[in-house]
Amino acid sequence: MTVIVEEGAAEHPVAPSRPARSSLARRRGRAGIWFVMPWILGFFLWYAIPMAASLWFSFTDYDLVSDEPMQFIGLENWVRLFNDADVHQSVLVTLKFGAIALPVAILFPMAIAYLLVAKALKGREGFRALFYLPSIIPFVAAVLIFNGVFNGQIGWVNKILAIFGIDGPDWFHDEFWIYPSLVFIGLWAVGNAILIFIAAMKGVPADLYAAARIDGAGEWSSFRHITIPFISPIIFYNLVITLIGIFGYFLVPFVLNNGSGAPNGATQFFALYFFRTGFQFFDMGYAATLAWALFIVAVVTTGALFWSAKYWVHYEFEG
């Protein structure tokens, strides 16, 4: 059959056939898999397989230094978990610290960010750099510095208080002052959170503030009804990150007291108890149980936060 094409007719590119498109998609899919293969291998080698192994260990009496063969003991470790007085104490310690640290970790950087975006503030860029710089210092070094700064005998905090006739406490060895001291150390590294809040606040449309001022709204009313809803996704993000960090709070009490839990068990956090069980007492089976219990609680709590987000988190482009 002869196909007659009229003179002057527009020439249209011929679309590739379906088999050709399918072949191209398969080649691109295979290339994509090869590109992500290093991540896939790393995930299985360093995350998935060790997690599966630790879950198995939680049902055994695995001891790191014992010559006895590992035996399956069923739910004994999990029963022990619920009856362990040290677990109860470590959970209570973590909750006490979290009740202080969580609101401070959200409100303090948000307040600093609000001040740093104020147009009346001179030298805003310099202040932003000053607040961010401490976060790049290795945290172990910062903890050691604070251990000297808050020393009950020779620390300069108590020396300054003595000038005003105040007898300062032994901050890290007093059960009442230990949690405020740990929270204060944590404020040393809020530079990242401050920058994130600054970016979120600068993204709030300025015309909304102008309209609010015309309607007679003050600073607090504008902050509550305009700023807070617009930055609620960032508040939610920092809330999740901070909460997970509290669940795994370990580094500071370990460096300060070598993991001893002093004073009187007030710093025996759950993550620290898990570490001591596995790597000081070598009871790896029970340590795996503690780790999985912490993981389950963190997942359930985070899931509850995501569920609650639909009631108070507002996204600018949501339908």
User: pLDDT of 210-228, one tens digit each?
Assistant: 999 998 989 999 999 999 9
pLDDT the model gives residue 311: 94
Evaluate whether 92 touches 267 at the Cβ level (below 8 Å).
no
> Is 6 within the bounds of a domain?
no
pLDDT the model gives residue 4: 47
pTM across the whole model: 0.85
> Is 105 within the bounds of a domain?
yes
For the record, the structure tokens of 13 come out as 């590119």
What string of H, E and C letters represents the secondary structure of 85-126?
A: HHHHHHHHHHHHHHHHHHHHHHHHHHHHHHHHCCCCCCCHHH
Q: CA 313 to CA 303: how far, in whole Å?
A: 15
CATH number, domain of 197, equals: 1.10.3720.10
> Is 42 within the bounds of a domain?
no
> Is 31 within the bounds of a domain?
no
Low-confidence ranges of the chain (pLDDT < 50): 1-10
> Is 71 within the bounds of a domain?
no
- From residue 153, give the alpha-carbon distance in Å to each of 73, 148, 159, 257: 50, 9, 9, 17
Q: CA 299 to CA 281: how far, in whole Å?
A: 27
Which amino acid makes up residue 297?
A: V
User: pLDDT of 181-215, one tens digit each?
Assistant: 999 999 988 999 999 999 999 999 989 999 999 98
Number of domains in the chain: 1
pLDDT the model gives residue 229: 94
> Is 41 within the bounds of a domain?
no
Please measure the distance between the N-terminal and C-terminal CA atoms of the chain and give it in whole angstroms.
Answer: 54
Which residue has tokens 């293969």? Answer: 37
pLDDT the model gives residue 98: 96
pLDDT the model gives residue 30: 87
Which residue has tokens 């209570």? Answer: 92
Q: Which domain holds residue 182?
A: 81-312
Q: Which of 190, 200, 150 is nearest to 173 (CA)?
A: 150
> Is 43 within the bounds of a domain?
no
> Is 159 within the bounds of a domain?
yes
Query: CA angle 100-254-289, nearest 5°?
Result: 85
Q: CA 216 to CA 116: how far, in whole Å?
A: 24
Residues 6+ apart with CB under 8 A from 12: none
Query: CA angle 211-215-216, nearest 5°?
Result: 120
Q: Which residues pair with 72 in a beta bridge?
A: 60
- Residue count of the chain, please give it: 319
